[in-house]
C-alpha cells in the first residue's frame, strides 16, 4: 500500500524492494515446512517464491518496456498493469505501480525526474 509517510529520499521505506530482499533471504534456507502467520503450514517454499519472483519480474518488464517507449507518470503507467481501472481500487493499483517502479529504480533501470512540476519515470542513462 502506498504510504507517503514512510520517509523521503534516502530514508524512504521501499516496501516491495525490502519484501523481495526478505523473500530471497528465505529462499536460500533449508526448510522442511513453513508455518505462516496465517493459512495452513506448507512445504516447497522455493517453488512458491519462484512463482512470486516471476510474477514481479513480468510486471517490472512490462513497466520498463512502457517507459522505454515513452516516459510516464505513475498514473500513466496504470494501464500497463491494469487495463481496466477500478475506481474503488485505484489506490491499490497505484501502489502496485509505484512499488514495482521503485524496484526498477533501485536496480538502476529507471529514474524519477520532475518535468513541469510532475514526477515522471524515465529510463536511466547507462
Supply the pLDDT for residue 35.
95
Question: Is residue 26 a part of any domain in this protein?
Answer: yes
Supply the pLDDT for residue 7.
59
Supply the pLDDT for residue 115.
86
Question: How far apart are alpha carbons 110 and 114 in whole angstroms?
Answer: 13
pLDDT mean values, one per 10 residues, the chain (126 residues):
63 86 96 94 96 97 96 95 88 93 94 91 85
Question: Is residue 80 a part of any domain in this protein?
Answer: yes
Question: Is residue 3 a part of any domain in this protein?
Answer: no
Question: How far apart are alpha carbons 115 and 84 in whole angstroms?
Answer: 27
Domain limits at 49?
A: 12-123
Question: Is residue 5 a part of any domain in this protein?
Answer: no
Question: Is residue 7 a part of any domain in this protein?
Answer: no
- Write the DSSP assignment of 66-78 as a string of letters: HHHHS-B-HHHHH
The number of domains in the chain is 1
Is the separation of the CB atoms in 101 and 74 below 8 Å?
yes
Quickly list H helices, 38-116: 45-69, 74-81, 90-106
- Indicate which CATH number applies to the domain containing 25: 1.10.10.10
Amino acid at each position: 500500500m502506498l504510504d507517503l509517510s514512510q520517509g523521503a529520499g534516502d530514508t524512504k521505506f521501499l516496501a516491495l524492494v525490502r519484501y523481495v530482499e526478505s523473500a530471497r533471504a528465505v529462499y536460500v534456507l533449508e526448510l522442511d515446512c513453513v508455518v505462516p502467520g496465517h493459512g495452513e503450514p506448507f512445504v516447497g517454499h522455493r517453488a512458491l517464491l519462484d512463482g512470486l519472483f516471476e510474477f514481479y519480474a513480468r510486471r517490472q518488464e512490462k513497466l520498463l518496456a512502457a517507459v522505454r517507449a515513452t516516459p510516464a507518470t505513475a498514473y500513466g503507467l496504470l494501464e500497463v498493469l491494469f487495463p481496466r481501472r477500478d475506481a474503488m481500487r485505484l489506490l491499490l493499483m497505484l501502489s502496485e505501480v509505484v512499488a514495482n517502479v521503485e524496484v526498477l529504480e533501485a536496480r538502476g533501470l529507471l529514474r524519477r525526474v520532475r518535468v513541469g512540476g510532475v514526477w515522471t519515470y524515465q529510463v536511466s542513462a547507462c
